[in-house]
Structure 1
Amino acid sequence: MAQITKKTDKHFPEDILFEVVSRLPSKSVGRFTTVSKSWYAFIRSPAFIASHLNRSIARNVDDDSLHCLLDVPTTLDEHKTCTVLCDNTVSVDEVYEVELPMDFESKTCRLVGSYNGLVCLTDDGYGYGRIIYVWNPLLRKFKCIIGTSCCCNRLYKEFTKVIVGFWYDVVKNDYKLIRIMFFGNEGFSGYDKEQSHVEVYSLNTGYWRKINDAKLPGIIICSHQPAFIDGALIWRALYSPVSEIDEDFIVSFDTRSELFRRMEFPDFREYHSTQEVPYLLVYKGCLAFYVAPDCGDEGSEVWSIWVMKEFGVIESWIKEYNEETQQPALWPIGFNKNNEILIDTSDEGIIAFNFETKQSRILELYCYKNCWINYIESRVFLEEKLITGKWKFIGRKSYIH
């Protein structure tokens, strides 16, 4: 437990003070940092931050009114304002706005993921995956992580595709990044990924390390923002066009064993056309995917949800829902806490649809050139300094199997 000076302890026993303050909302806790130097150190201590975060997560689970979404603009020509939204069963209300404190050379950004109140972003232009930001919107603090590996400087432009993932390592209490870089050999199509380079970054150590011999030959990872299930980052993938194999499948990266794995989709095209794309999502803690007709398709509209009941077991895929509707959809944003799927439509903006009750509601919000993600406020602290990713050649072999 964090140590508090005798002056701070004069009227309140240390353990009682710890219990009381760690139960308060994040903004209230922030005000107490100005009480004294001892209070500032107390609230900044790792023990307090961990306790406050765990209780914030518990409150978020128990109280619908505390569930938040973060609305992040992906095109930054006009503004850099993010909005924290409170999502409940009745409405989605704006709580407050916060400016993105970092600059993006391309004036576009890509949302990678969010864990424990930290949001990961990268430039969506040339700097994609080369300049990565980890940001705490509540504290207005961020780290800028610049890749300095041999592949990120001299050869970076030659990589035809870069994929970034972000997660929290519970065992080591560490926030980590993975960067997968596909390389097109001279004389081959840019989509023929004969070479790949995979590296992992630890915020605790400040080092990038290469995962030796990781190969994803002939594969295109299509989804930028991965799903995260059971310690694995998961993307939708395709074979390269030159392979003459046209089928979707799943690539997962186990963050504990650092192994890649391929998994198959079920035969959903029995119910949908070959043009429809499966969007990977997380539904009630399980890997799921959503399929709907393209916005311009004519005829009957069918929204389907398939769920993998046991992660990694292909036979456990089931078609959970198959709903006929007249509402065209652009793409799914994800599921909210109430297990409603948030869908960006062409006409009405964002709607929330509950497959169990068959009820939908219009949120009167639009997601054009924006991205939403589940978000929880936290006091997880980030030093205000530039972090230049150092290079360290350590690691283990990892293959897709």
Structure 2
Amino acid sequence: MAQITKETDKQFPEDILFEVVSRLPAKSVGRFTTVSKSWYAFIRSPAFIASHLNRSIARNVDGDSSLYLLYMSNNLGEHSICTVLCDNMVSFDEVHEVELPMDFESKTCRLVGSCNGLVCLTDDHCAFHGRIMYVWNPLLRKFKCIIGTCCCNRLYKKFTEVSVGFWYDGAKSDYKLIRIMHFEKLDFAGCVKEQYHVEVYSLNAGYWRKIDDAKLPGIIKYSHQSAFVDGALIWRAGYSLGSEIDTDFILSFDTRSELFQRMEFPDFQEYRSTQEVPYLVVYKGCLAFFVAPDCGAIGSAVWSIWVMKKFGVVESWVKEYSEETPGKALWPLGFTKNNEILIDTSHGGIIAFNFETKQTKILNIYSYNNCWINYTESLVFLEEKNELVENRSSLEGHRTSIKEENASG
């Protein structure tokens, strides 16, 4: 490619530059904003950013190696490092490392989700989970800090369960978050009554909106296990029976109607006969779950993947795979575009199992307490001028106000 200069935009019409530059990698395009004021303007325009993102997503579908796997340790030290791996058809080469520009109160974090090059994170500790949420673009090293509403109400006890989710609303070109807070209220007879507080945050609007009269058919049991399928956020849920939670089912939140719905797991024997839990995943655009019955930490293990072929239809559950791999399979980390599943195992390593070749590959990556997501680089946030934070010092005011609120609550 010829060297780009300040005179380049005088030699080519803007529509041609738009078409050419929108096909280039996001990292390269970001540098081109320094070419000239006109380049700076059209690259930062919402139309260009959307076009570039759509082309990047299309290349991922067509098999181009522009999709990445992003992983980081759940337990953060002094230097919080996030590693980006290239999800190509052969290996998982390290592309680069990015230091997290935000702090977490408990020094632990959780990846809530990722879409369109944005990553959502929150504190993993139950006392801080969902209290502060960050929407971060690792490529641009910019993020938004989103403070949740008060987690304590003088009329009630503190919220006992907080679950969060993150998605893109394509109809409104908006990124949204949800917080689901469960609490117990004592009625006049002294009986415990379960109640919920559900609110949605819009990045476009910049504030939280409560969903009035939200009706949940159960309690989210494993908030770290979530999926996004067919416009719905998915969690594992159950009923509260005294001081314990029992009866597994799937809780979905339709992001378009903002209604909750219960869906059932299939009655599969290998799960019902063990204490192992199903891990919700998305496989080829369908809701699925991974289950590995406990067979000890030594030797091989058989695990299964069930797929809901038609979303919301219990009868469409199909046992798609039942495979055997070395070591006990603990939980799935995700899927690659090479039709592989990444599995964390009992020996602390990660294996990649290929569904087509039936071959198992051991990755040279230590997996203890790691968080993994699929990630696509994008220029989202490049056009933003306000409310972006780029260093830790800018968060001190947020954390101070939260500490004061918790102390007074």
* Fold similarity call, TM over 0.5: yes
* Alignment check: 8 A CA contact 1:91 1:363 kept: no
Report the aligned-residue RMSD.
Answer: 2.7
- Please name the residue that 2:132 is paired with: 131
Deviates more, 1:122-131 or 1:171-180: 122-131
Residue 75 and residue 384 in structure 1: after superposition, are their counterparts in 2 closer, same or farther (change >3 A)?
Answer: farther
Mapped to 2, the partners of 1:193 and 1:43 lie a distance apart of: 53
State how 1:160-199 maps to structure 2 within 5 Å. 160-186=160-186, 194-199=194-199
* Alignment check: 8 A CA contact 2:298 2:328 kept: no
* Alignment check: 8 A CA contact 2:342 2:351 kept: yes
Mapped to 2, the partners of 1:155 and 1:64 lie a distance apart of: 55
State how 1:357-372 maps to structure 2 within 5 Å. 357-372=357-372
1:385 equivalent in alignment to 2:387 = yes
The alignment partner of 1:88 has SS state of coil
Runs of 4+ in 1 over 3 A off after TM superposition: 6-9, 150-157, 243-246, 294-300, 386-389
State how 1:1-400 maps to structure 2 within 5 Å. 9-125=9-125, 126-148=127-149, 150-151=150-151, 158-186=158-186, 194-216=194-216, 219-242=219-242, 246-270=246-270, 273-294=273-294, 296=296, 301-347=301-347, 349-381=349-381, 382-383=384-385, 385=387
Q: How many residues were matched structurally?
A: 380
Shift, 1:305, TM fit = 0.7
Q: Which amino acid aligns with 1:208?
A: W
Could you give the per-residue CA deviations for residues 279-330 of structure 1, whole angstroms, max 9, x where no partner exists? 0101111111010023736897321110100001110001111224453112
For structure 1, the residue ranges without an aligned partner over 5 or more in a row are 1-5, 390-401
The alignment partner of 1:56 has SS state of helix
For structure 2, the residue ranges without an aligned partner over 5 or more in a row are 1-5, 390-396, 399-409
Residue 351 and residue 201 in structure 1: after superposition, are their counterparts in 2 closer, same or farther (change >3 A)?
Answer: same
Mapped to 2, the partners of 1:154 and 1:130 lie a distance apart of: 17
Shift, 1:184, TM fit = 2.2
Mapped to 1, the partners of 2:366 and 2:295 lie a distance apart of: 16
Q: TM-score, normalised by structure 1?
A: 0.88
Shift, 1:152, TM fit = 5.5
Could you give the per-residue CA deviations for residues 88-117 of structure 1, whole angstroms, max 9, x where no partner exists? 232111000111001111111111000000
Residue 71 and residue 325 in structure 1: after superposition, are their counterparts in 2 closer, same or farther (change >3 A)?
Answer: closer
Residue 72 and residue 295 in structure 1: after superposition, are their counterparts in 2 closer, same or farther (change >3 A)?
Answer: farther
* Alignment check: 8 A CA contact 2:65 2:87 kept: yes
Mapped to 2, the partners of 1:271 and 1:12 lie a distance apart of: 62
Deviates more, 1:122-131 or 1:99-108: 122-131
Shift, 1:274, TM fit = 2.7
* Alignment check: 8 A CA contact 1:193 1:216 kept: no
Q: Which amino acid aligns with 2:142?
A: K
Mapped to 1, the partners of 2:90 and 2:7 lie a distance apart of: 46
* Alignment check: 8 A CA contact 2:26 2:377 kept: yes
Shift, 1:218, TM fit = 5.0
- Please name the residue that 2:401 is paired with: none
Mapped to 2, the partners of 1:311 and 1:103 lie a distance apart of: 38
Residue 52 and residue 193 in structure 1: after superposition, are their counterparts in 2 closer, same or farther (change >3 A)?
Answer: farther
Q: TM-score, normalised by structure 2?
A: 0.86
Could you give the per-residue CA deviations for residues 334-390 of structure 1, whole angstroms, max 9, x where no partner exists? 21212211101122611011234321111111221220100000000144526999x
Mapped to 2, the partners of 1:155 and 1:12 lie a distance apart of: 65
Deviates more, 1:330-339 or 1:303-312: 330-339
* Alignment check: 8 A CA contact 2:343 2:352 kept: yes
Shift, 1:21, TM fit = 0.8
Identical aligned pairs, as a percentage? 78
Mapped to 1, the partners of 2:154 and 2:30 lie a distance apart of: 44
Mapped to 1, the partners of 2:45 and 2:152 lie a distance apart of: 35
Q: Which amino acid aligns with 1:221?
A: K
The alignment partner of 2:40 has SS state of helix
Mapped to 2, the partners of 1:97 and 1:199 lie a distance apart of: 34
* Alignment check: 8 A CA contact 1:65 1:88 kept: yes
* Alignment check: 8 A CA contact 1:272 1:293 kept: no
The alignment partner of 2:65 has SS state of helix
* Alignment check: 8 A CA contact 1:323 1:355 kept: no
Mapped to 2, the partners of 1:280 and 1:302 lie a distance apart of: 17
The alignment partner of 2:164 has SS state of strand
